[in-house]
Amino acid sequence: MKRKFLKNYFLWLALFLLSILSSFQQRNTAAVNDVHVKIIFVNNIRESKLILNDSTYTNPFDEKYTITKLRYYVTNVSLQNGDGNVKEKKSYHLIDESKISSQVINFSVPAGDYNSIQFLLGVDSLHNVSGAQTDDLDPTKDMFWTWNSGYVMAKMEGHSPDSKMVNNKYEFHVGGFSGPYNVLKEIHLNFPRKAIHFEAGKKYEIFISADINTWWQSPHNIKIAEHPTITTPGENAKNISDNYANMFHLEKVIPE
Amino acid sequence: MKKKISILIIFFVVAFAIALEAGRQESDEYSLLHPTPLKLKIPKGWPKPSSDIFANNPLTEEGFQLGRKLFYDGRLSKDGNFACASCHQQFAAFATYDHDLSHGFHDQFTTRNAPPLFNLAWSRLLHWDGGVNHIEVQALSPMTAPNEMAENVDSVLQKLRKDTSYQRMFTLAFGSKMMNSQRMLKALAQFVGSLISSNSKYDKVKRGEDKFNAAEQRGYELFKQRCNTCHREPLFTDYSFRNNGLPLNDFLKDYGRMRITGNVMDSLKFKVPSLRNVSVTFPYMHDGRLYSLYDVIDHYSKGIQQSATLDSSLRKGIPFSEDEKNDIIYFLHTLKDTTFLNDKRFSQP
């Protein structure tokens, strides 16, 4: 009898240790009823996929141009439901047209009904004044101004015969996080149907297109001949940001 | 027999748990050491810094020493010739001695006079135009400027990663040998932010350890009447941006603060520099156009150029007689802090 008790005692102890171990391992995995969401950004010119370097486009002012570089920050992503919103933790993403992996954002939300997505186009003002950052906010990403501290929120570069700058270059480095020329844009996109139920254990994909052709017009006309380089915070940068605030379109939300 | 199995199970489980826990630790030998915390000493009677520059960058002996090594390392520049210290020399209070503009990559000039480096914890904005808003990101500016160190940060990190002494020092300071821009910049900020100058003759007089001579005392009285508004004690600057009546340099066309704010009201405004150690930081002004302290006093006496943004306190200039000039310069020499200029802790490691 005593031996049996002892044996049980050891078995219980072993089970106890095992349970501690398994809790260690579960610490970093998501809760069971979470839904995995994948947000996919597709950069277009009007209806067609943007092609860097090799395609020549025409802007609304009949100016021909190519695009060699296109980057912008998507930050503080959240999904809305009736009760409020679910924010992604530590959410700073540099969408870079030359890097496919950068165009996908993964995060988890609790299962439930969602009706819209929201994010900031740019880097919030706090992170412009908080010193050296890492990951997509690392200054080596070439999106940080060293002479006038702050992030370039969006960047487009290329060539156009209408630019009188060296090698017919045009460059838009759009930044400025405070004062009248703040270029930060809060983007809110409704889901196509009113609300979509995100079922536990499933994966969902949200496709968002960005029409880069919007950068040129409405509400402000930006002509390459007049403004081949906009690379400092100020009225011109603000004007481009007013235009590109309209570039996003939520295409579809589908189970993977 | 069954008991033996039970013991075996327990043995394996415990061994597994230990292995799992050990795996979470860095395998590095230094990871068990903790860096030694340091505290920035605020001199008695000084105001509190407007913000804590080390709030997200805990100051440690190991971080400071890493920053010191980086500060004196030419590998932070493209051709290896330009350490931070080549334009920021300790004997010149970390300004460039006897140079109006400094020299950079490929024999180029900089466009402004290298400012001395001390008491930066009190300076919310850095650079003559206040364009840099945090001490951690300041180093990016000279490092990447094509006429200064002309390097890019990734390339600097590649060079440092090959050096075993850096691998060791990054581990001691930050817990692993991983080198990224953030760690490098934070270490530099720890060194530069620790440069405090607070032991000049003026400080000793204020603490009752020394006495001004007659000329210094007369100079101090003059200073309090005529200079103290902008060069406020005890830091000898109010950190404001002001147009002090220097005509625009037609070659440099430097409008100062306006470049940052885009506001025409900021045209020709530059940061009021501290006067501490002023006798070793010549030449003076944002472009080093005035060579001696006499030239500076003469400028305020009779050289002020009127303009829309001229500081209101300078509309009539600040007249000084010849005797007064001598007295005020005697006083300014009492701001030289030889303890700071010779502090081995701040010298080349």
Instruction: Please report the ipTM that was assigned to this predicted complex.
Output: 0.83
Among the residues of B43-194, which ranges form H helices? 61-71, 84-87, 135-138, 140-144, 153-161, 164-174, 181-193
Q: Looking at residue A90, what is its pLDDT?
A: 73
Q: Is A10 on the interface with B (CB under 8 A)?
A: yes
Describe the crossing of helices A2-26 and B2-24 by its angle, rounded to 10 degrees. 20
Q: Looking at residue B18, what is its pLDDT?
A: 54
Closest CA relative to residue B311, chosen from B223, B240, B262:
B240
- Token pair 């050491």 in the structure block, residue: B33
The span from the CA of A213 to the CA of B211, in Å, is 72
CA torsion A62-A63-A64-A69 (nearest 10°) is -130
Are the Cβ atoms of A10 and B7 closer than 8 angstroms?
yes
Reduce the DSSP state of residue A18 to 3 states and report it.
helix
Percent of chain B with pLDDT over 70: 91
A161: confidence class by pLDDT, cuts 50, 70, 90 = very high
- HSE of A99, CA atoms in CB hemisphere, 13 A: 12
B323-341 confidence digits (pLDDT tens): 999 999 999 999 999 999 9
Percent of chain A with pLDDT over 70: 88
pTM of the model: 0.86
Are the Cβ atoms of B10 and A13 closer than 8 angstroms?
yes
Q: Which residues contact B210 (CB under 8 A, 6 or more apart)?
A: B201, B204
Please give the span between the terminal C-alpha atoms of chain A, in angstroms, as a whole number. 57
Task: Please state the rounded mean pLDDT for residues A186-195.
Answer: 91
Q: Looking at residue A89, what is its pLDDT?
A: 77
Q: Looking at residue A28, what is its pLDDT?
A: 44
A32-69 confidence digits (pLDDT tens): 678 999 999 999 999 999 999 999 999 999 999 999 99
Q: Is B14 on the interface with A (CB under 8 A)?
A: yes
Closest CA relative to residue B276, chosen from B34, B7, B53, B95:
B95
Interface test with B, best of A140, A141, A142, A230 (most B CBs within 10 A): A140
Range list of β-strands (E), chain B? 103-104, 108-109, 241-242, 270-271
Q: Which residues of A touch B23 (CB under 8 A)?
A: none
Asked which of B4-8, B106-110, B228-232, B314-318 is least confident by mean pLDDT, the reply is: B4-8
Are the Cβ atoms of A130 and B14 closer than 8 angstroms?
no
B3: confidence class by pLDDT, cuts 50, 70, 90 = low
Question: Which value, in Å, is the radius of gyration of the alpha carbons in chain A?
Answer: 24
Q: Which residues of A touch B10 (CB under 8 A)?
A: 10, 13-14, 17
Task: Please state the rounded mean pLDDT for residues A147-160.
Answer: 97
Q: Are A31 and A37 in contact (CB under 8 A)?
A: no
Q: Looking at residue A27, what is its pLDDT?
A: 45
The span from the CA of B157 to the CA of A138, in Å, is 13
Reduce the DSSP state of residue A100 to 3 states and report it.
helix
The size of chain A, in residues, is 256
Average pLDDT, chain B: 92
Q: Check whether B87 has a pLDDT greater than 80.
A: yes
B13: confidence class by pLDDT, cuts 50, 70, 90 = low
Q: Looking at residue B33, what is its pLDDT?
A: 74
User: Residue B2's closest chain A neighbor by CA?
Assistant: A7
Q: Which helix (H) or strand (E) holds B332?
A: helix B322-333
Residue-by-residue DSSP string for A165-204: SGGGEEEEEEE--SGGG---EEEEEE-SSS-EEE-TT-EE
Task: Please state the rounded mean pLDDT for residues B73-101.
Answer: 94
B61: confidence class by pLDDT, cuts 50, 70, 90 = very high
Select the residue of B16, B56, B189 nearest A130 (Cβ to Cβ): B56
B273: confidence class by pLDDT, cuts 50, 70, 90 = very high
Q: Looking at residue A85, what is its pLDDT?
A: 84
CA torsion B216-B217-B221-B222 (nearest 10°) is -30
Q: Check whether B27 has a pLDDT greater than 90.
A: no
- HSE of B247, CA atoms in CB hemisphere, 13 A: 6
Q: Is B260 on the interface with A (CB under 8 A)?
A: yes
Q: Looking at residue A192, what is its pLDDT?
A: 87
Q: Check whether A16 has a pLDDT greater than 70.
A: no
A193: confidence class by pLDDT, cuts 50, 70, 90 = confident
Q: Looking at residue A88, what is its pLDDT?
A: 83
Q: Check whether B349 has a pLDDT greater than 70.
A: yes
Q: Is A5 on the interface with B (CB under 8 A)?
A: no
Q: Looking at residue B11, what is its pLDDT?
A: 58
B246-261 confidence digits (pLDDT tens): 999 999 999 999 999 9
A137: confidence class by pLDDT, cuts 50, 70, 90 = very high
Percent of chain A with pLDDT over 90: 79
Q: Looking at residue B23, what is its pLDDT?
A: 47
B160-193 confidence digits (pLDDT tens): 999 999 999 999 999 999 999 999 999 999 999 9
Q: Check whether B15 has a pLDDT greater than 80.
A: no
Q: Looking at residue B28, what is its pLDDT?
A: 47
Select the residue of B10, B56, B153 nearest A14 (Cβ to Cβ): B10
Are the Cβ atoms of A132 and B259 closer than 8 angstroms?
no
Q: Check whether A26 has a pLDDT greater than 50.
A: no
Q: Check whether A3 has a pLDDT greater than 70.
A: no
B30: confidence class by pLDDT, cuts 50, 70, 90 = low
The span from the CA of A189 to the CA of A186, in Å, is 10
Q: Check whether B14 has a pLDDT greater than 60.
A: no
Higher pLDDT, A195 or A244: A244
